[in-house]
Chain A
Amino acid sequence: MSTGNTVAAIEPVRKHIVIEAPQERVFQTFTRDIDKWWPREHHIGTSPLACQELETTVGGRWYSVCEDGSECNVGKVLEWDPPKRVVLAWQLTAQWQYDPDLITEVEVTFTAEGPRTTRVDLEHRNLERFGVSAVELRNSIDSPSGWGLLLSNFAAVASAAEA
């Protein structure tokens, strides 16, 4: 290995998708209506996920609300430039615990390719910051039950962290 940046060289996750809807609509769906599409299995709370919320302004909270009314932070809004761009802070560790000191950035840009066609580009970067906590994740994945076990443990971990 010739460089001194082995860890810092972790590539961001980059995705894009083309959506047949106007730019403004897609932006609104991603942000204000995040609850309509957020994958349900991705949940850290102590009771089933009731809804996913994103406060649509710089510094706005990004959080989950559970059916029992409790709230779990996910992150916050770092940059807000509707309807073209938003940067979110994903602040869940590899153990799905909210850590205010951890910031990995999710940058999403919305490009109008036509009146009813929008290209969405997403980059989730600073993944090296998962560093230490990611080792725990690897251990979970390597176990016979893998992610299933990890997911079922979210509630216990989250409640322990909140206590």
Chain B
Amino acid sequence: MTNHSVAFTALGDPTRQLLLERLAKRPLPVGKLAVGLKVSRPAVSQHLKVLYDAGLVSVRQQGTRRIYQVDPKGIEAMRTYLDRFWDRALAALKAAAETEDDQ
């Protein structure tokens, strides 16, 4: 196995995975995140700290509340890669289809 990064380790926990799934839908404060979970609110805060330290979520202050959200930079990197990938792929598709047409 390769080295596990901090982020990978941070995800090796069902509660943290669930928290991230909820945050992927929309940014939430701790109170809302904890609804329906079997763990206490302080435990949720602790899990969020692990996710934050791993760079998986970011946080902003809104009045007295701290709003958590998935850090979108990783997704943007993936999007950039796919943007280039499909450019190459479609250019290759064009070459293949037009070559075939000559047969």
A residues near B, CB below 8 A?
A: 1, 4-8, 10-11, 13, 15, 17, 19-22, 25-26, 29-30, 33, 36-39, 42, 94, 116, 118, 120, 122, 124, 127-132, 134-139, 141, 147, 153, 156-157, 160
When C-beta atoms are compared, the residue in chain A nearest to B2 turns out to be A156
When C-beta atoms are compared, the residue in chain B nearest to A27 turns out to be B97
Q: Contacts A13-B79, A122-B86, A124-B86 hold; do A135 and B95 have CB atoms under 8 A apart?
A: no
A116–B101 touching, CB < 8 Å: yes
- The answer for the CA separation of A6 and B100 in the assembled complex, in Å, is 44
A10–B100 touching, CB < 8 Å: no
The answer to the question of B88 belonging to the interface, with a C-beta cut-off of 8 Å to chain A, is yes
Question: How distant is A127 from chain B, measured CB to nearest CB, in Å?
Answer: 5
- Per-position 1/0 for B67-101, Cβ under 8 A of A: 00111111111110111011111111111111011
Which residues of chain B in 1-16 are interfacial with respect to chain A, using CB atoms and an 8 Å cutoff?
1-2, 5, 7-8, 11
A136 CB contact (under 8 Å) in B8, B95, B101: B8
- The answer for the CA separation of A131 and B60 in the assembled complex, in Å, is 19
CB-CB nearest 10 A-B residue pairs: A134-B74, A135-B74, A37-B92, A138-B74, A37-B96, A29-B97, A21-B101, A36-B96, A21-B97, A134-B78
- The answer for the CA separation of A21 and B1 in the assembled complex, in Å, is 47
A13 CB contact (under 8 Å) in B5, B83, B92, B96: B83
When C-beta atoms are compared, the residue in chain A nearest to B17 turns out to be A132
Residues of B within 8 A of A128 (CB): 24, 75
When C-beta atoms are compared, the residue in chain B nearest to A127 turns out to be B79
B26–A4 touching, CB < 8 Å: yes
A127–B27 touching, CB < 8 Å: no
Question: How distant is B71 from chain A, measured CB to nearest CB, in Å?
Answer: 7
B98 CB contact (under 8 Å) in A19, A129, A147, A156: A19
- 27 residue pairs of the A-B complex, CB under 8 angstroms, read A6-B70, A7-B24, A7-B75, A10-B76, A17-B90, A19-B98, A20-B98, A20-B101, A29-B93, A29-B97, A29-B100, A39-B85, A120-B90, A128-B75, A130-B75, A130-B78, A131-B75, A132-B70, A134-B78, A135-B7, A135-B55, A138-B77, A139-B5, A139-B55, A141-B77, A156-B2, A160-B2
- Per-position 1/0 for B13-40, Cβ under 8 A of A: 0000100100111110000000000000
Question: How distant is B69 from chain A, measured CB to nearest CB, in Å?
Answer: 6
